[in-house]
Amino acid sequence: MPLTTPTRKNPILRTRQMNLPPWARGRVALGMTAAAAQGRFELQVCEDCDTVQYPPREACHRCLSLRLRWRAQSGEGTLLSATTLHHSNDPFFRERLPWRLGLVELACGPSLIVHLHGEVGDAPAPVRVGARLDRAGQAVLIGFPTEGSEHMADDTMLREMSNDPKLRKALVSDGKTALGQAIVRALLDAGAEIVWVGHAEPWKKMPGFEDIAKLERASLVPLDLSNARSVDELAGEIGGKVDIVINNAEVHRGFGIGARHGTDVARAEMDINYFGLLRMAQAFGPALRSRSADGPSNAVAWVNLLSIYALSNYPPHGTFSASKAAAHSLAQCLRAEMRPAGIRVVNVFPGPIDDEWNQNLPPPKLAPETLARAIVGALREGVEDLYPGDVAQEWLERWRDNPKVLERELAAGGG
């Protein structure tokens, strides 16, 4: 059944507080959460006997080896049995009953209990197991049908695990850039009920912006992230309505330290890329947290446009990299503060975007439309960290392998 527009919140009733699902995990089990945060389903595999492990553990249950490594799994398996909960002592599940669970035997060996998507048939049935982050930010396992319908994403349980823009209200902080306009269009194509499009300096006539103003369900709003009053006024006007905040506003300039005298440009980058995020978080954060338990119309997500340069400084764009590294650290603080309310903070680390500030860089570069679709996809999949594009994926792999080697390579002119 497709989703329908949720009923409006009754302003007379007291706002509910968010109850999170059970969130306690041991350190070993957090490996599954780390993979799920990037959209992967991983289990431990013994490097000595190749046995796949579940639940997570310190030593192999077959040969007692300590050499366990997390590896991606296909998730293919068979549903052995299923049950539907109609009673629960846990506050989170008690408010969401009935809730369907199943026992699945994976093709790779282990058997495990999973949450079941509504389109999974009666046992025995083929299923595909995937890992998602729940409202507490921890990995849970979900059994999906091998072939779903076009309304598969509308499943009530799945909506709890994702931040699908469909029928939700979103704010895009900068609609004047090519990327901002692409994000607006992608959100509307995904079924967003309304998209507020922030814009600063109205005297600047940017290409394509007038076309955005003509879109149905898009509403232009003044927003200057360098001005606390502008941010606070908009938060006072729409803060209690926004379900998804996408902070894509940024200042990007080239050069590092020695090639440019003074601090004016670096200050401008920090003022938007770091302090702009801080102003937005202080103004919109409390409103999102207060609306996290509003049922079908609850606030769900905050998206930050960072950069792969935030992981390791890219000297040709040195001060920009530094501002994004500062924003990354601040976004981690924001994530920790939002988690008790069940608000997902999604950090996006793209490689070079195909815009005027990267025009001298050789391909591959991310087209704004490609990045916009990746952001909407991350919201639908419940992903917490997104590294879109070939360059970002390569940098991430090199950074994970040895951050110091990557730093040396970049300092020597490598890219």
Cα–Cα separations (whole angstroms), residue 240 to 184, 231, 290, 294: 20, 14, 8, 11
pLDDT at 13 over 70: no
Tally of structural domains, the chain: 2
176 and 145 housed in the same domain: no
Domain finish residue from 115, 139, 161: 161
Cis omega (within 30 of 0) for bond into 362? no
What is the per-residue pLDDT for 151?
84
User: What amino acid occupies position 109?
Assistant: G
123 and 45 housed in the same domain: yes
* Order of strands, sheet of 218-222, starting from the edge strand that comes earlier in the sequence: 218-222, 194-199, 169-172, 244-247, 301-305, 344-348, 385-386
Find the helix or strand (DSSP H, E) in which 168 lies. Answer: none
What is the per-residue pLDDT for 251?
95
Instruction: State the CB neighbour count (10 A cutoff) for residue 160.
Output: 20
Domain finish residue from 130, 161, 192: 161
131 and 173 housed in the same domain: no
266 and 290 housed in the same domain: yes
71 and 118 housed in the same domain: yes
Higher pLDDT, 364 or 348: 348
pLDDT at 105 over 70: yes
Give the model's confidence band at 185: pLDDT under 50 very low, under 70 low, under 90 confident, else very high. Answer: very high
Rounded CA gap, 376 and 349, in Å? Answer: 14
Rounded CA gap, 108 and 135, in Å? Answer: 28
Domain finish residue from 134, 161, 188: 161
What is the per-residue pLDDT for 413?
79
367 and 318 housed in the same domain: yes
Question: What percentage of the chain exceeds 70 in pLDDT?
Answer: 96
Give residue 375's domain range: 169-411
Question: What percentage of the chain exceeds 90 in pLDDT?
Answer: 77
